């Protein structure tokens, strides 16, 4: 019974982080759930993460009115290749040894920390022209990260940053991408029979309490210095990532 209490607490923390900063639910939750459920259940953890992130992103889109389907036409290759390589990532999730998945997830989290730190402090240092090749690379890496560890954001965040995408389109494209990748991931996982009753029960607990945390986080974000909060989150993520590697 206590395991559900731990999952509920992790859900609240993940929801608050997502609600305040708009990112980080997967980055926070994967190391914490790995500590609670065990390394050997990493594939179940990723299934839970991909699934409940769909609900979180729907709520964020509604709260911020950020869904911009018209804007995605400029980044459609990211979505297409993200969808294709999500299946590749899920195949890897089903067939790769748990220890390898842990190291891949930890590496992706570390890359995410670097990208988020870059986006926070050096948003205008690198300038690249939008191109088909860059979109394909960003979409492919995003899809693999989504399928194997529910971490699909860093390649897209980096692409949008270095191509000087304006703030409104940046926000709308990112929200749309996260939502589309999550839905695609859930559909693929259903076809691959990756859901079990135990996963569904843990997913229900996680979702309910994450939504509570998300609502609280969105309210807190209106009064909080977001930059300071993100710095704190990045430090916590780094500690969790190190803990995850040496678990």
* pLDDT tens by residue, 175-216: 677 788 888 889 988 988 889 898 999 999 988 998 898 888
pLDDT for res 133: 93
Q: What percent of the chain has pLDDT over 70?
A: 77
pLDDT for res 200: 92
Q: How far apart are CA 6 and CA 156, in angstroms?
A: 32
Q: Which structure tokens are listed for 162?
A: 């270095």
Q: Three-state SS across 111-159? A: HHHHHHHHHHHCCCCCCCCCCHHHHHHHHHHHHHHHHHHCCCHHHHHHH
Q: How far apart are CA 12 and CA 186, in angstroms?
A: 22
pLDDT for res 137: 92
Which sequence spans correspond to the domains of the chain?
2-245
Residues of the chain under the 50 pLDDT cut: none
pLDDT for res 123: 57
Quote the pTM value.
Answer: 0.79
pLDDT for res 244: 63
Report DSSP letters for 160-220, one per residue.
HHHTT--HHHHHHHHHHHHHHHHHHHHHHHHHTT---HHHHHHHHHHHHHHHHHHHHHHHH
Q: How far apart are CA 214 and CA 218, in angstroms?
A: 6
pLDDT for res 243: 64
């Amino acid at each position: 019974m206590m395991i559900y209490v731990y999952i509920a607490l992790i859900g609240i923390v993940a929801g608050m982080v997502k609600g305040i900063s708009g990112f980080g639910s997967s980055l926070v939750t994967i190391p914490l759930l790995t500590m609670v459920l065990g390394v050997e259940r990493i594939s179940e953890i990723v299934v839970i993460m991909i699934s409940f992130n769909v609900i979180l992103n729907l709520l964020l889109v509604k709260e911020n009115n950020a869904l911009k389907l018209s804007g995605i036409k400029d980044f459609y290759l990211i979505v297409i290749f993200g969808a294709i390589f999500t299946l590749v990532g899920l195949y890897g999730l089903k067939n790769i040894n748990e220890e390898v998945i842990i190291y891949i997830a930890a590496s992706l989290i570390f890359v995410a920390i670097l990208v988020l730190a870059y986006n926070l402090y050096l948003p205008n240092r690198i300038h690249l022209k939008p191109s088909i090749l860059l979109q394909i690379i960003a979409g492919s890496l995003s899809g693999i990260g989504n399928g194997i560890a529910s971490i699909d954001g860093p390649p897209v965040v980096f692409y949008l940053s270095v191509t000087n995408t304006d703030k409104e389109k940046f926000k709308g494209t990112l929200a749309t991408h996260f939502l589309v990748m999550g839905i695609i991931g859930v559909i693929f996982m259903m076809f691959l029979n990756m859901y079990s009753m135990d996963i569904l029960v843990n997913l229900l607990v996680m979702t309910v309490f994450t939504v509570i945390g998300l609502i609280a986080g969105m309210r807190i974000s209106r009064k909080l210095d977001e930059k300071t909060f993100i710095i704190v989150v990045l430090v916590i993520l780094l500690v969790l990532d190190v803990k995850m590697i040496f678990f």
